[in-house]
Structure 1
Amino acid sequence: MTSLSNLIPELLDPILFYLRKRDILSLLRTCKYLHSVCLPYIWSRLTLYDTITPDDDEFSIYNELSKHRVWRLADTTDEFGVDALGYKYIKKIKILAPETTFSIKSRTVKNGFQRLLEDLIESGKINLREVALRDANKYPIPPDVDFSLLHRIKKYSESKSPGEFSMTLHTESLPPLLRTGALNLTVLTKLRVVHHLQGGTFSEEWREFHESLSIHIEDNIIDEIEALTQLLSGAVNLKELWIRPESRRYEPGSIHSLTEPLKGLQTALDGLKRLEKLVIGPATYPSDSAVFFHPSFFIAPPENCKTLQYGCTASIAWWRKFAAHPLPGVENLRLGLSPMTLIGNRWVDDKEDEEVLQQLIPGESISGRWRTKFYIGDVAVRGLKKFTLDPEYYIDEATDPMDLEACIYRRNKGLNEAHRKKIKDEVISGFRRQILDGFSVGMARCARRIATRHFEDWMGRNAIEEASAERCFEELNLEKEKHVVEFTKLLSSWAERNIDKFHFYSKKNQDELKLLEGFIEDDV
């Protein structure tokens, strides 16, 4: 019978991952072999987190040195010495809330633990392989923060190759963090940025409303674009990039005022030759407060990016740019975009998006109106293997291009079978809804057959090169009228024979109705 003591360390590590720290401490006391495996594991990851107020220390993380009172290690080291503890096993340091952890008022600094780590890294007694920095503070960094440990890590990383050391960064205050000069951008491999955008072309009433709540709105759009551009220009080894805009206090104006900064941002992104995954917007659901600098700004992924996700607010101009871009290298595409609404404080006065401008009717209130249905005609992307639309995307069917899925289906023959079948079913359902729109559901059975036949003629195996979903919808409208007229005549004849008998739901009449529907289907 196999026991834990017979397993090699590579098999034990996944097991230890699911154990609580106290259980790992108990396990390492059972035998010398498990002690030799568990001790390096429990020391391998060190989390630094400190608050100025001790009562705020409520967090704990399993399987790594707890950030709960980790600063006390300074006293233990003074008592027993560096070699008696497991510093040499530390491979990863996770730093949370640097604005409080590195504050000169924090216990990490006052107790001397930060200085201890700096000395151990400089002397080579800690062979650091990875640093994860999570900065969830969206406000300016206080002046009493000591970033000397980050500067020491930066110097250490400059002597390492990309394969020997890496850094992951999650920040909500990118411009202030960059101004510290404490980051070596070349070692960044994973980056998550939250942009809290504010300013723009708010109406006077909107500004007065914020001022009544003592909320000061300062335009930071150019600042955020330039900071992101600076970071991406230096992060040449970046593999994953997630950008989440928060724009509840931002109302964009014309995109032309942002042309040059956005062009620089696109150039910086194009230089990320190792980027494999790009996510713009919330990771799980679309949001109408996720304006990525401008609803008409389409940022294209670099050539080697395989996974792409857009979840921002998009205008019709955005969709046109998306449709025209070949997205070279992209294999997995996920869309969860929200529409650019015409509600007053979300309106974008941009001549580039003339189709949206034409929706405004003089003298009519625009509050609550959505854009009309539209077509993109075709897509330039050809290499997709997976394509996903978030469920929330269909809350309002008027918010997406009518022919989006049909175009993706026709142009991407390499889609895996599951995704191809799902898209086909969605397209056929869309055609079927077009047939049934405004008419009796009694046509449901024959509508499916009509929709399937049109799909094969225009999108499937029988499709000609110049076919389009837009033309298919036109044909459906013509054919729908023909079948509705015929169906109505037959139904009227049936109703005349049964209107005075008060047994519409008898088995005989239900069978007759089925025959009636079957007749129409056979005629189709």
Structure 2
Amino acid sequence: MASLLTIGAIRELSYEILQYLNPSDIFSLLLTCKLFYPVCYQSLWSTLRLYDKAKINDRGRICYKLARLINTRGVDNTGVGHIRTIMLHRYSLTCTNGFVRSSFIHILETLLASGKLNLKHLELRYNLSWHTDSEKEELFGFLRHVREYSRRKQPDEFSMAITANPIFLEPGMHIQVLDIEKITSFDLEMDWQYNGYETDERQHAYSSGSGAWEDSDSDFTDPGDDAHGLDDDGEWPRTVSEQPNASEGLRPSNIQIDTSQYNTRLAGILTHLLSQAVNLKFLTIRSIRDGGRRYTDFKLSPPLKSLQTTIKSLPKLHTLTIQGKLFHPSFFIAPPESARVVNYDGVLSNRWLREFRECPFTNVTHLNVNFRKDNYERGKGCRDFRRRLVNYVQSSGLLRCDVEGFDTIAPDLGLCILRGNRGLDELSRKKLSKGADRPL
């Protein structure tokens, strides 16, 4: 067995071991032996988390300590030169947080401009807040310094991970301070309680009929033609003109109708944003708040079609995750051919399932789907939430697959995935066959 002296003498091995230790353990190891000191010291400075992970709203106390340390000892007598990753949190870019008030924000600006900071990655919660013009300029000034630094680097030299509500990333002043091409990870939070659409746009969608909103399945042809499955024409969602009206006892005035699918402004923002993210590797789109409104039948509009095409065209995307509602439970997003891992999680409809089964998931090896129960019966506003057979799936190259809750909407889905993907590992096969109507 190798001794600590042997491990400490091999820096590559030491770095590998440190990947499994938290900062406090690394600091303890740093104190044990002179051989471990350099590698532990460098590791402690390499990733700068500007907040306490256990207390994310700590008002930036770490920033005050770092600013005092650097101002007292000077840059050259600290480990600033080892910093490669900086992680900010949701309160960092607000005028009341310690990142700003401690002036550590200006220290980083100076380091970036002088070249003394060789930053490789920035994790940023894009959530700006200011009260005066000077505070606004202070926050945007930092982002402009990051942008200038980013433009001097190649995509393999610098990257960013951004968490944000996409409504605040629309084309304009905000987006101009981010180098979108350097973003490798997007975590987009869809706040559906935010009034991001115009009233006249919503009214236009209801009054213009099928001419304005295309039914994506209007020319759908299915080889299975199973009258009891998802191919039953009677189960296709209705056009706008067929929506429930006052004569059917459902008046628009006394029922909350979900109109997220008509939010063309948000669809346009997402399309514009993702079309520029040519180096994006990880994309997560998730709902953080969603009101309990009833869904109407889905109409695939041109803006939503453009969004589908944009995501499917991302050239370097490795992992696609959709959590919760994305405009409508029937809105299916197919992964690009570059994707290897795909995750869907939410209240998903029959129409969504039809698109899912036709998707070949080319090059996808890991697929996870969680069909959540419609606890609020929000699907009762349309006819697209019924238990139906799938009959087949197009995917054929999966190595791992975990599908939860499929028996509530498509009882034969597990069996169909098993039939089409003979290379699945044993655990996946066991889980999928558990809910199958008949043995494989």
Give the TM-score, by structure 1 length: 0.63
SS in structure 2 of the partner of residue 193 of structure 1 = strand
CA contact (8 A) 2:350 2:409 kept: no
Q: Distance in 2 between matches of 1:113 and 1:292?
A: 38
Q: 1:117 to 1:341 in 2, by over 3 A?
A: closer
Q: Distance in 1 between matches of 2:290 and 2:372?
A: 13
1:212-245 deviations in whole A, cap 9, x for unaligned? Answer: xxxxx99993343222222211111111212112
Equivalent of 1:163 in 138, 156, 166: 156
Q: Distance in 2 between matches of 1:17 and 1:128?
A: 19
CA contact (8 A) 2:189 2:285 kept: yes
Q: 1:159 to 1:3 in 2, by over 3 A?
A: same
* Alpha-carbon distance, 1:76 to partner: 2.9
Residue of structure 1 equivalent to 2:216: none
Identical positions, percent: 32
Q: 1:110 to 1:276 in 2, by over 3 A?
A: closer
Match status 1:193 vs 2:188? yes
Q: Distance in 2 between matches of 1:303 and 1:6?
A: 45
* Alpha-carbon distance, 1:342 to partner: 8.6
Q: Distance in 2 between matches of 1:326 and 1:218?
A: 28
Matched AA of 1:264:
S
* Alpha-carbon distance, 1:251 to partner: 4.4
Q: Distance in 2 between matches of 1:67 and 1:30?
A: 30
Consecutive unaligned residues in structure 1, runs of 5 or more: 51-55, 208-216, 282-289, 350-355, 358-370, 432-454, 461-524
Residue of structure 2 equivalent to 1:89: 82
The 5 A counterparts of 1:102-141 are 102-135=93-126, 141=129
* Alpha-carbon distance, 1:417 to partner: 4.1
SS in structure 2 of the partner of residue 297 of structure 1 = coil
Q: Distance in 1 between matches of 2:433 and 2:322?
A: 27
* Alpha-carbon distance, 1:196 to partner: 1.2
CA contact (8 A) 1:280 1:309 kept: yes
Q: Distance in 2 between matches of 1:222 and 1:127?
A: 41
Mean alpha-carbon deviation: is it higher for 269-278 or for 1-10? Answer: 1-10
1:121-168 deviations in whole A, cap 9, x for unaligned? Answer: 111101001111135x6xx84454413222211211112122111111
Q: Give the count of matched residue pairs.
A: 374
1:366-398 deviations in whole A, cap 9, x for unaligned? Answer: xxxxx54312222222222222112xx16xx4x
Equivalent of 1:304 in 312, 335, 338: 338
The 5 A counterparts of 1:50-449 are 58-59=55-56, 68-97=61-90, 100-135=91-126, 141-142=129-130, 144-145=135-136, 146-171=139-164, 173-178=165-170, 179=172, 180-181=174-175, 182-198=177-193, 204-205=253-254, 221-245=263-287, 246-248=289-291, 251-256=294-299, 259-281=301-323, 290-338=324-372, 343=377, 345-349=378-382, 356=383, 371-390=385-404, 393=405, 397=407, 399-427=408-436, 430-431=437-438
SS in structure 2 of the partner of residue 161 of structure 1 = coil
* Alpha-carbon distance, 1:175 to partner: 2.0
Matched AA of 2:380:
W
Residue of structure 2 equivalent to 1:439: none
Q: Distance in 1 between matches of 2:33 and 2:20?
A: 20
1:68-99 deviations in whole A, cap 9, x for unaligned? Answer: 332333333233222111111100000112xx
Consecutive unaligned residues in structure 2, runs of 5 or more: 196-201, 207-250
Q: 1:158 to 1:249 in 2, by over 3 A?
A: farther
Q: 1:372 to 1:77 in 2, by over 3 A?
A: closer
Q: 1:376 to 1:383 in 2, by over 3 A?
A: same
Q: Distance in 2 between matches of 1:58 and 1:247?
A: 26
Q: Distance in 1 between matches of 2:318 and 2:366?
A: 11
Q: Distance in 1 between matches of 2:19 and 2:434?
A: 41
> Which structure exhibits the higher relative contact order, with contacts defined as CA atoms closer than 8 Å and separated by 6 or more residues?
2
SS in structure 2 of the partner of residue 255 of structure 1 = coil
Q: Distance in 2 between matches of 1:220 and 1:323?
A: 25
Give the TM-score, by structure 2 length: 0.74
Q: Distance in 1 between matches of 2:2 and 2:425?
A: 41
Q: Distance in 1 between matches of 2:368 and 2:282?
A: 15
Q: Distance in 1 between matches of 2:112 and 2:387?
A: 60
Matched AA of 2:412:
D
Q: Distance in 2 between matches of 1:23 and 1:384?
A: 39
CA contact (8 A) 1:315 1:340 kept: no
Q: Distance in 2 between matches of 1:336 and 1:49?
A: 33
